[in-house]
Structure 1
């Protein structure tokens, strides 16, 4: 790093985040099957990274020289650094898998068997298994007569060299391509019969390798090598004011499958002649070739068999009911009297489903509005909105069609909602709707009363079990009137809205955060207490980083808790020596954003959907909200405090664990669960209406 450099490269910072995931895979204190899952997360993250970020760098490299010179960094140099770091991490993944994961599986009497290690009884089992489950779903393609073939995105193939033909009329050498049919098979792994206490499994790839003589009976010899392509997943959409955005999204989704190659991962043992065949018949260049190991697509380890060994997984954390809401038959009636805070995944997401389901059938409810960014495939929230529309409520739903990798699910629900009679707004031109808000309006006597839901996380009951978020139900008019204005903007598109209590990007959020930082700077210069505790997923916006540097130089103590990208560099003398950065990676994905400002010991606390990235503050509709009830503010403050004290799963900016043996152990996610559990002092087990486990 250059001495005068003020910003860490975004790409390298993201790779540092993904390395923290890899650290969990090699942490011996993590249960073995969970470590395998972290391998899958690491691999899945990296796949998406190549499809989006690496593909973007490659497109930037193709720009004209004069245009490239306007960029802050040279994309070619960035790509070189990225590929170097990726290669290092992939090598480490291979070492972790071979020398740690497989060895630890052996200690649990679980053994990986390759096609060359089969015992006679295992061979006999596989003959029947192959005939019944695999043979009919294989579709080999001979390449010799083809001038071109297409590789599907994120699919593992075997490229096969066939030699020694049995019949003279055949060519002396042939090549074939065979897709490993993971989806049709129902997973990547095949469990072999147990022998005593010993358990065995094989990769589906290796089972296919074993039966290649049957797949290609005209050849005496067949050698297979794994390949996988990742294609550019960016959607090239002209976000015009007019035009059918859904049609454009659908068209772009089709292009995604045929997008430009971002990388072709291949077995490092693949003969050069086979690689040449691939390049000649696909148009893939040498720049896109990335050497790997025998096995690709480690994301398939999400489906690794658990062998009915619960001790190799995290101990269950039964989802907790809310200490007050659990006793209320009507959520709307309860919210009318006070605000309620929810914390996922520790507490149940069922209350959100109940909120919309109750509103859908309540005769007094006149309208329901919601923003849908990433909804579950079988979304109960979306079903409740459909039901509300069918029941004659005025339902307005903002469906963000540009939610990357969730476009198809969002399109599905948008159509269902429209068919039911809801008004569906397909995002806003030039702005991605990333806020997570809902609004219910109810006729109560002679007046209309609004009930709002605001969250840091999506309306998604599936991810609510793994994403750690905060959410609030409120009927406080100081909040609901501002939420109404957000939904007004979605319909009238007039940007002249004034928000009194909410921070709404791109209208007042950046300005308000800047004002709050400036207030800390002024207090520090006056000798008053001045600090900030800022928890987010990503910190990249250079203007906000420069304000934090300014605060540090003024003497403001800045504590950052950043899970992912962090372009700020802490500890630079005279610039950021009053700034610390830590990151927590554990069993749940930290997803909440919490911004705390000292305000001369009268703390101001905001919870938000937005990170401090330029896209969040300037090109998205985001919502940050204050907690106006002091008890609820203290509740979030206490939970942030656990992360500040975490000495088990917290790392510093150099990915070094902040473990201190001389201090009592604090594992923040477990401390939060215990804290929330104590709010239910008489709780012995979750109520029957609540999900009982993760």
Structure 2
């Protein structure tokens, strides 16, 4: 039996979502941003029910544990807090700002004619009511919204109908100008108030909102499958019809009708949850309020990187020294320029890149298409199995292939999560130029994910990138027999875990010998037990360990004999913390690594990940300063304690790391 303790993976993730809810509860956060945090919380929870709850349910059935029930209890408490924040704080604040948002209170009578006009002009033709009966089955699709309608007919018989809420064609909110003000209401309410026009023969109508989440886990893909695109497209069609994992219903729905729906919709494996009046609260992010004073003040991205000669091409300047872009604090244009220059550069012969989550309107993909049409050899590894981005990635994969780009897909049982690009040029000194990143090559998410992108001409490291691309192009699963070695890169499936263990062991030796030691790691998720155990061992050896973990954290900090020297912070602010950074003190000669890999089981054992070293001293100094600001954060950081609680800091320094980093990188400091 393992002598160490760990938090449960999924309960830990729920703790992160609670941290998001805490931000929505802060009156110091601008009002529309608080609403966005409610939206993020709701979106996160929907994904949790689609992806993790099916797994927890299976574990409960197989192992007879209570974590599934524990998760449901935690979610119930969080949902209650969600509704309280919305009703007791957000709605009154909207009213104070002259925004009439009808959420709980009924819609005023003087709006009824306007609502009916809107209903007939925009909504009625999109409704598809279905009467539930033994002869007419109905299958509610995943994550769509419906209204259950209870009809009392002329013969005093009762019928149940289901009416769709067509948010796939209309905005969720309706805004009507009345008395010089915007009157905002849910589309749901517009339909409910006009159900008499849908069921004109009914003597009495009651209505209740419902929603179903369905299992989104795709079947394991066979490595022998010839066409992964075709297999994935079939599975994506099946995903719509996965078993129900959660059934949300509006309070007041009678028990007898709930039982009827349970049988009609086959909810045997679903959590039956009484929610609020409205569902899909993630739609709150699109509330039609445009007052800029209710949002964060704009932070224009810094366009000019310090020390960059604007008169030179990017490729020529990279030959002179490495560059790093810190998105979104700094403009992503330099990354787009890397691909744009490659597309037209006469000396560029070959371009290689990985794409994990392709932007919907990807300028990078368009540049790669142009490069192929301009006679360059372009090889793109598109990871089709990126969850919930499969369809978009398939679309771009086909589009690039049609333009002459060579498309490579990963081995079906392994995802390629590495963030890499390589340009091969006809250049005597620097034939290779490269890009290595902590986040996806996606200019959309780069606007609100904090990531770090290294641009370099360091040939020894880029030769290893080229070696990895050559291996990935063979589309084979890594085997022990593969004689691929890496001196600079840490590559999952080859040397990543081993190298991290060696780096931790070195800090342990330094601590035992009285030398300077320490570890600072910033991750999205920390789960894998071999690496966690080595962190515990380092703590017991006297190594001071600072962790910044945004979401899942299975490591239990602050436990004597296990983790007394380990602290864990969690930062939630206007940007989503996404970069992975690893700092090892190394007896006052710190080494810094960055890359795509969290310390999750999936990253270590089921993905191709790349972690890369930082050699440029100026970039190292800047990164250390940024990490120090995050470790000193007392406003947006909380400490995770040994009970998995988000403990608010009371330090009076009032350091807000994202503000401080923006000031640092924009030259304000």
Q: What CA deviation, in whole Å up to 9, does each residue of 1:67-115 have, x standing for no partner? A: x4xxxxx364221111111111111111111111111111112222269
Residue 170 of structure 2 is aligned to residue 179 of structure 1: no
Q: Structure 1 regions of 5+ residues with no counterpart?
A: 63-67, 69-73, 682-694
Asked whether the equivalents of residues 213 and 220 of structure 1 are also in contact (C-alpha less than 8 Å), the reply is no
RMSD between aligned residues: 1.9
1: CA distance between counterparts of 2:191 and 2:623?
53
Q: Which residue of 2 aligns with 1:689?
A: none
Residue 211 of structure 2 is aligned to residue 195 of structure 1: no
1:612 positional shift:
0.8
Choose from 148, 152, 156 the match for 2:145. Answer: 156
2: CA distance between counterparts of 1:4 and 1:222?
61
2: CA distance between counterparts of 1:426 and 1:75?
39
1: CA distance between counterparts of 2:111 and 2:26?
33
Asked whether the equivalents of residues 396 and 422 of structure 1 are also in contact (C-alpha less than 8 Å), the reply is yes
SS in structure 2 of the partner of residue 148 of structure 1: coil
1: CA distance between counterparts of 2:592 and 2:188?
52
Mean Cα deviation higher: 118-127 or 548-557: 118-127
For residues 106-185 of structure 1, the aligned pairs below 5 Å read: 106-113=95-102, 117-144=106-133, 146-165=135-154, 168=155, 172-185=157-170
1:117 positional shift:
3.0
Using the size of structure 1 for normalisation, the TM-score is 0.92
Choose from 596, 613, 620 the match for 1:609. Answer: 596
SS in structure 2 of the partner of residue 284 of structure 1: coil
Structure 1 residues 76 and 158, CA gap change in structure 2 (3 angstroms): farther
Q: Which residue of 2 aligns with 1:317?
A: 299
1:539 positional shift:
0.6
For residues 291-370 of structure 1, the aligned pairs below 5 Å read: 291-306=274-289, 308-323=290-305, 324-325=307-308, 327-370=310-353
Structure 1 residues 652 and 146, CA gap change in structure 2 (3 angstroms): farther
1:58 positional shift:
2.7
1:123 positional shift:
1.7
Choose from 445, 448, 455 the match for 1:463. Answer: 445
Structure 1 residues 76 and 253, CA gap change in structure 2 (3 angstroms): farther
Q: Which residue of 2 aligns with 1:510?
A: 497
Q: Which residue of 1 aligns with 2:230?
A: 247
Structure 1 residues 613 and 328, CA gap change in structure 2 (3 angstroms): farther
2: CA distance between counterparts of 1:390 and 1:60?
51
2: CA distance between counterparts of 1:192 and 1:668?
41
1: CA distance between counterparts of 2:126 and 2:149?
17
Q: What CA deviation, in whole Å up to 9, does each residue of 1:426-467 have, x standing for no partner? A: 11243210000000001025x770000000010111100010
1: CA distance between counterparts of 2:112 and 2:8?
51
Asked whether the equivalents of residues 143 and 212 of structure 2 are also in contact (C-alpha less than 8 Å), the reply is yes
Q: Which residue of 2 aligns with 1:645?
A: 632
Asked whether the equivalents of residues 60 and 66 of structure 2 are also in contact (C-alpha less than 8 Å), the reply is no
Asked whether the equivalents of residues 379 and 408 of structure 2 are also in contact (C-alpha less than 8 Å), the reply is yes
1: CA distance between counterparts of 2:392 and 2:432?
29
1:260 positional shift:
1.1
Choose from 391, 394, 415 the match for 1:411. Answer: 394
2: CA distance between counterparts of 1:38 and 1:448?
46
For residues 481-500 of structure 1, the aligned pairs below 5 Å read: 481-492=463-474, 493=476, 495-500=482-487
Mean Cα deviation higher: 136-145 or 30-39: 136-145
2: CA distance between counterparts of 1:659 and 1:578?
21
1:61 positional shift:
4.6
Q: Which residue of 2 aligns with 1:104?
A: 93
Residue 37 of structure 2 is aligned to residue 54 of structure 1: no
Q: What CA deviation, in whole Å up to 9, does each residue of 1:16-61 have, x standing for no partner? A: 0011111111111110001101111000000001100001223445
Choose from 548, 555, 566 the match for 1:561. Answer: 548
1:305 positional shift:
1.0
Choose from 649, 660, 664 the match for 2:651. Answer: 660
SS in structure 2 of the partner of residue 183 of structure 1: coil
Mean Cα deviation higher: 486-495 or 556-565: 486-495
Q: Structure 2 regions of 5+ residues with no counterpart?
A: none
